[in-house]
Structure 1
């Protein structure tokens, strides 16, 4: 799989300015169908996180893993997995890259974005 398959972008409503995930056809706020594509930009920070101690079958090789809510400077928020060896703290700056995180139940590799503390 390529990075293009995991392109991160949101839609900003041209009518009311509401920012939403790109999968929606109409604005969730005003039902408008005209949007401007918005990509995450600027620094990203960890808003909140949790450690999952009972992962689903696809993560059977992990005892636990972290997921968090990340906010970029331009207002885009998303949830994603966080590198397991990270020393996590709300408010810390993070960055993302693409990585194979597990294999599905049929043995196919699952690749997606994953966050880790930003390099200083």
Structure 2
């Protein structure tokens, strides 16, 4: 009630004082919301560039650095999280495939050693090739 002069406060009834106080409180909360909205809009305007708005390219300095993208607030890394069950798409059985090609490399791509293709410890890897 500090915004109301003391002379007016003395003339008000308690009911009128309560009503005026509630009006002032609602005005203050509305002012705070509007100020928050204004700050958000100002921040949005600062992020506008000719690349993400209808501004002409001449409004940006030719040597201006691109604005950095805002980082996500998430603390998690991308991809599957620790402890989550791994999901892998199963390969279609060979019987259902129209064609099957067995491809064996002649040399190891890392060390260049000659490969015989008869390693009992290694199981072959499946790979799909689709053709239309």
User: If the length of structure 2 is used for normalisation, what is the TM-score?
Assistant: 0.19
Larger Rg: 2
User: If the length of structure 1 is used for normalisation, what is the TM-score?
Assistant: 0.20
Is the helix fraction higher in 1 or 2?
Answer: 2
